[in-house]
Amino acid sequence: MRILVAGATGYVGSRLAAELLKDGHEVIAATRNPGRLAGFGWHDKVTGVALDADDPTSVRAAFAAAGPVDVIYYLVHAIGQPGFRDRDNAAAANVAEAANHVGVGRSFIVVTRRENPLSYRLCDNSVQRRFDAADDRLARIDR
């Protein structure tokens, strides 16, 4: 499968990319700064694309550069920055709308458990509906 990992240079995303490669998937590693991919041992086995989830133009360009995508793992967050919840909701909406537009088959978002005081809900209901529109088989992974 062709799998786009948004947030591929982050802690979870970098480990997920390595595991997906081990499983034989074709990985598109999406990150704000594709130059950072060089710091990972698997960088020469992925297609790197620039994706700034805060910028709808960047998101559309990333999907155009990536080509057909079967699955998206969305691992982008702005935790610790002022207004991160609103920013994360807007960024997730940008990616969900682009995924819907290009017909991505499945989307996964990673959220943390609510009982964890450091956790947060990645998407409000309107954003969740946009991901659902991109794929009615949306799966959530709770960590």
Q: Is-contact 12 80, C-beta < 8 A?
A: no
Mean pLDDT score, 39-46: 96
Among the listed residues 119, 113, 36, 29, the one whose alpha carbon sits nearest the alpha carbon of residue 79: 119
* Better pLDDT: 101 or 133: 101
**In the predicted structure, residue 107 carries a pLDDT above the cut 90:** no
Cβ atoms 119, 111 nearer than 8 A: yes
Residue 115 has pLDDT above 50, yes or no: no
**For 59-73, how does the pLDDT look when each residue is reduced to its tens digit (9 = 90+)?**
999 999 999 998 888
Mean pLDDT score across all residues of the chain: 78
Q: In this model, does residue 49 exceed pLDDT 90?
A: yes
